[in-house]
Structure 1
Amino acid sequence: MQAFNVDKEKTLNAALLILNKLGKADYHRVFKILYFAEQQHLKNYGQPLTGDVYQAMPYGPVPSFLYDIFKASENQSSPFHEALELSKAFTVTRNEKIPYVTPNREPDIDELSESNIDAILTSIDENQQLSFREITDKSHDSAWAKAEKSSETEMSYLDIAESVETAPEMLRYILLNAENNNLRVS
């Protein structure tokens, strides 16, 4: 189960930052770049970047709330009012079967901390040139494999942190933070 609560404005602005740096990009690339930024933020600071719930899907982790926003933008409808409202920040078009997202505005940098921005920019630098197969394979880490094999596809933030060899004291910090906030981590 998820250990943190999604910060919807941070999720929106993280995606906008990624897309403003990449230009038009498919869902898959945005999701994976954000996932790798989440990993590094957990490893370095013991906190996720957005708190979004990642699902282990066949082509790698997918952030649930951001996916809802993109789908709302693509369909111009959603059962989730917040996703529909935030979807106005993006335009989604399809090239054959592949959905591409374009930002409609700049990110509100005040919604992102310096460490958030650094993690996102580092992830972009490390992953933007990877092919679809390379970025998929990279995202099929131990956290993805564990969730994919279980009956639930939701990925644990503790498992995500462990997948990038986070220091034991940082893992304890993540657990303690979750316990102090009465949140579950696995």
Structure 2
Amino acid sequence: MTAFRIDKDKAVHAALYVLDRIGPADYHKVFKILYFAEQVHLKNFGRPLTGDSYQAMKYGPVPSFLYDVFKASEKSESPFVEAMVRSKAFAVERGARKPIVRALVKPDLDELSESDLEALTISIEENSMLGFDALVKKSHDSAWDLAEKAEDIEMSYIDIAKAAGISDGMISYICLQAENASSKLA
């Protein structure tokens, strides 16, 4: 598994940025916009945007930490202190069919680099108008397939990058970045 260190504050502010741009949305839309922003960032800059681990779920990739944050906001409780603290930036209302997330604060743009904002903006422009079924179909890419087939729910950043059509040279660079990140994790 190719591991990167998650930047939890950046993950929260990336989600806030998405909600600031598109307005209140369901988990699914926010998560898919973030997933495709991760792909854009990998392709253009050779590193993930947030480093959150993506889980291959039934309806597509889900960022693990942000899912915990949204659930903490929805339920006003969590076994994870970091998720509970960060959940105060969001309000989640259970709609007739699905929970709707609303930002309670503006994103802190100092938490997001120019490359982060570029990748998020591209993903928002390409994906915010897509419906649920189109986002499911688009996000069920080769990275999702590989995680599902291997029964390994966590998706590899290398597979996510390959699904975005990234060059072999950039894949090598991402592997080196992941190796460096992993050595810092130990």
Give the TM-score, by structure 2 length.
0.96
Shift of the alpha carbon at 1:96?
Answer: 1.9
1:39 equivalenced with 2:43 (yes/no): no
Secondary structure (helix, strand or coil) at the match of 1:181 reads helix
How far off is 1:2 after superposition? 4.3
Q: Which moved more, 1:171-180 or 1:114-123?
A: 171-180
Q: After the TM superposition, which residues 121-136 of structure 1 pair with which residues of structure 2 at under 5 Å, given as runs?
A: 121-136=121-136
Using the aligned pairs only, state the percent identity. 58
What residue number does 2:178 align with?
178
Cα distance, 1:152 vs structure 2? 1.3
Q: For residue 148 of structure 1, give the secondary structure of its aligned residue in structure 2.
A: helix
Query: Aligned residues, how many?
Result: 183
Shift of 1:181: 3.5
For structure 1, which runs of at least 5 residues remain unmatched after alignment?
none
Distance 1:72 1:153, change over 3 A: same
Give, in whole Å, the separation in 2 of the partners of 1:178 and 1:131. Answer: 33
Instruction: For residues 51-85 of structure 1, give each alpha carbon's deviation from its aligned partner in whole angstroms, at most 9, with x where no partner exists.
Output: 00000001000000000000000000000001000
Aligned to 1:155: 155
Task: Please state whether the residue corresponding to 2:61 is helix, strand or coil.
Answer: strand
Q: Which ranges in structure 2 are unaligned for 5 or more consecutive residues?
A: none
Deviations 1:91-128 (A, max 9, x none): 00011230100000100000000000010011001011
Contact persistence 2:39–2:164 (CA under 8 A): yes
Correspondence for 1:12: 12
Match status 1:143 vs 2:139: no
What letter is aligned with 1:28?
H
Deviation at 1:176, TM superposition (A): 1.4
Equivalent positions of 1:15-164 (< 5 A) are 15-164=15-164
